[in-house]
Amino acid sequence: MSLPLPSPSLVVLIGAPAAGKSTWAGENFTAEQIVSSDRLRGVVGEHALDLAATDDAFELLDRILEMRSARELTTVVDTTGLDADRRQGYLALARRHRIHAVAVRFTTTAAECKRRNRERAHPVPVKAIDTMAKKAKAIDLSAEAWDAVIEPEPVRLVTPKLAAAAPTEAERPDADAEPEATMPTLRFGLLISRFEPREGEAMGPYLARLATGAEAAGFDSVWVMDHMMQIPQVGSAWDAMLDSYTTLGYLAHATSRVRLGVLVSAATFRNVGHLAKMIATLDVLSGGRAIAGLGAANFKREHEAYGWDFPDAPDRLARLEDVLRALPLLWGPGNPSFEGTTLSIPEAVGYPRPLQESVPMIVGGSGERVTLRLAARYGDGCNLFGDVATVRRLIGVLHEHCAAVGRDPAEVEVTHLGEVLVGRDRDDLTERIERLRPGNLGPDRYAARVNAGTVPDVEAYLRAYADAGVQTTILTTPDLASPTTFTAFAELLARFHEPTADGPLA
C-alpha cells in the first residue's frame, strides 16, 4: 500500500549522504519532478561533487523551484535538507504558491550510510557523513510547519480532493488484520453529459453501449442533462446535445434495471402538463423506472437562443415550486384544478398514469434559503454540489427545513453530483490521463480538473461523502467513450455492498 500525497506537493528530502534519498525519489517520482543539487553541480561545475560549484548549483535549484511552484508542479528537492534556513525557505515557497509541503525524514544509520558510501564511484569523506548523520538525527521536524512529515515509504500522487479523503495513518488498515465487513452506504448513478461516440460509431448504439455498460457495472441509475445546447462547463455550444426525454425513452428500451432520470428538467422549458405527460410516458415505457429531476434553470444563453423567457431567479424558483406542487396532481386520479403563483391548470388530468404510485421528484440545486426549502417540503430527494464539508453543511440546512415543515429528513434522499476519472491502477490511470488531456494542459492539472484517481483513491473519496450523509452519488466522467471505462467502474462499485435500505432511488 502506498501513501497518497496531494499534487502539487513540494517534497523535501532530509538525510545524510547515502541515506537512500535519490533512490527513493527515483522509485516514486518521474525524473522531471526531481531537482537534485548534485545533478545541478554537474551542470554548472565540473562534476556532481564539485564543491566549488555549490553556491551556483543552489542558486539554480532555487530558481527552478520557484518556477515549478509557480506552475503548480510537484517537485522533489533532492538535497541533504539539513540546513534549517533552507528548509524554512522551502516552506515559505510552498505557502506562497499554496502547495502542500512534505518533509521526508531518512533515518538511515551512519554505519549504513558509510557502507553505501564506500560503494560509490566518488565517495563522500567519512567525517562528513558522521557529522551530517548526527545533524539529521537532531532535527525536530515537528517544530516546523510541514503539512506532512513522512518516512521514506512508497507514495503516490493524487488530486487534492482525493488526498483529503484518504485515510489517516491511524485509519489505514493493518495488512495482517481481518477485513471488516463494509456496510452498504451508497447507490450509484451515471450522468451522460457528453454525446461523443467513437469514430465510426453511430449515436444510438453508442448510447445503448453506455447504458448497458453502466447497468452491468452496477450503477443503479442513468441520467442525462436537460439542455438545448452543451453547457460551457462541459464543452462547446456546437457539441451534440440530444433531447433529454427522447434519449431516456431510447435507453428505456436498451436497459432493464437502472432507474432513468433527467438532472434536472428545467421548469422554464415546458408547459407543466406536457412535462407530466413526458415523465409519465417514460415511466410506463420503462416499466416504472422514471425519476423526475427538477430545477429552476440557470443557463440564460439557451433561453435567449430559443426565444424563451428567462425570468429573474425569484420568479424561476416560484415556477419550480408550482411545478413541484402540480406534477403529483397531473399524475394522480381525477381532474382537479390547480392555481399556483405562476401556473393555472383548469383540469389536471393525465392518462395513462405512471406505473409508480409516486414518481420520485429530485430537486436540483444547493440554494440554502429557497431550493433546499422546496426539497424539504415537496421533494423525495435533493441533488447537491460541492466538497464534503459543503455538502455536510447543506445537509444540515436541509434537515432544518424539514423540521420547519414537520417532515422526517429520512424521507428526502441526498444525492451528490461529481466528476471522476477512474483507473484500475496507476498505470491504467496514467494511460487514461495521457489519452484524454488537452495538449496545453499538463497531467497533474488535468488530473485535478477531472478528479482522477485509482479505484482505492476514488473509493475513499466517495466514502467521505457517504459519511457526510450522501445516499446516492451521481458520477460523470470524461472517459465515457472508452470501451474499458466500465471495467474500472465495476471494480469501484464492487467495493460497495448492494444497497438494502429503502429510498426513492432504490
- Quote the pLDDT of residue 169: 46
How many helices and strands (H and E) does the chain possess? 18, 20
The 8-class DSSP code of residue 386 comes to S
Asked if the model's pLDDT at residue 177 lies above 50, the reply is no
- Quote the pLDDT of residue 164: 81
- Quote the pLDDT of residue 501: 53
Distance, CA of 344 to CA of 429 (rounded, Å): 53
| Strand-strand pairing, 452-454 and 421-423 | parallel
The tally of CA atoms less than 13 A away on the side-chain side of residue 424 is 8
Closest CA to 342 of 315, 382, 324: 315
Distance, CA of 271 to CA of 135 (rounded, Å): 76
- Quote the pLDDT of residue 460: 92
- CA angle 212/213/214 to nearest 5° reads 90
Cell 415546458, residue?
270
Confidence of residue 497 (pLDDT cuts 50, 70, 90): low
- Quote the pLDDT of residue 498: 59
User: What's the pLDDT tens digit per position in 393-413?
Assistant: 999 999 999 999 999 999 999
User: What's the pLDDT tens digit per position in 19-35?
Assistant: 999 999 999 999 999 99
Hey, is 6 helix, strand or coil?
strand
User: What's the pLDDT tens digit per position in 331-349?
Assistant: 999 899 999 999 999 999 8
Structural domains of the chain ordered from first start:
3-158 (3.40.50.300), 187-425+452-494 (3.20.20.30)
Asked if the model's pLDDT at residue 183 lies above 60, the reply is no
Question: What proportion of the chain, given as a percentage, has pLDDT over 70?
Answer: 95
Show the cell assigned to 193.
453529459
Of 29-33, 82-86, 150-154, 169-173, least confident by mean pLDDT is: 169-173
- Quote the pLDDT of residue 179: 45
3-state secondary structure string across 296-333? CCCCHHHHHHHCCCCCCHHHHHHHHHHHHHHHHHHHCC
- Quote the pLDDT of residue 184: 47
Q: What is the mean pLDDT of the chain?
A: 91
* Alpha-helical segments (H) within 97-221: 110-118, 126-138, 160-165, 203-217
| Strand-strand pairing, 338-339 and 344-345 | antiparallel
Hey, is 488 helix, strand or coil?
helix
Asked if the model's pLDDT at residue 180 lies above 90, the reply is no
Neighbours of 230 (CB within 10 A): 20
DSSP letters for 272-305: HHHHHHHHHHHHHHTTS-EEEEEE----HHHHHH
Confidence of residue 185 (pLDDT cuts 50, 70, 90): confident
- Quote the pLDDT of residue 502: 63
Task: Report the range out of 165-169, 227-231, 288-292, 447-451 with the highest average pLDDT.
Answer: 288-292
Which residues, at least 6 apart from 471, have a Cβ–Cβ distance to it below 8 Å? 186, 187, 413, 414, 415, 501, 503, 505
Distance, CA of 371 to CA of 50 (rounded, Å): 67
Which residues, at least 6 apart from 105, have a Cβ–Cβ distance to it below 8 Å? 14, 15, 136, 139, 141, 149, 150, 151, 152
Residues forming beta bridges with residue 453, ordered by sequence position: 422
Asked if the model's pLDDT at residue 175 lies above 70, the reply is no
User: What's the pLDDT tens digit per position in 208-220?
Assistant: 999 999 999 999 9
Asked if the model's pLDDT at residue 154 lies above 70, the reply is yes
Asked if the model's pLDDT at residue 262 lies above 60, the reply is yes
Of 102-106, 109-113, 286-290, least confident by mean pLDDT is: 109-113
Question: What proportion of the chain, given as a percentage, has pLDDT over 90?
Answer: 79
Asked if the model's pLDDT at residue 108 lies above 80, the reply is yes
The crossing angle, in degrees rounded to 10, of helices 37-44 and 54-70 is 120
User: What's the pLDDT tens digit per position in 267-295?
Assistant: 999 999 999 999 999 999 999 999 999 99
Averaged pLDDT, 37-50: 85
Which residues, at least 6 apart from 157, have a Cβ–Cβ distance to it below 8 Å? 4, 5, 6, 7, 9, 74, 444
- Quote the pLDDT of residue 47: 78
Asked if the model's pLDDT at residue 499 lies above 70, the reply is no
- Quote the pLDDT of residue 481: 86
Asked if the model's pLDDT at residue 489 lies above 70, the reply is yes
Which helix (H) or strand (E) segment is 83 a member of?
A: none
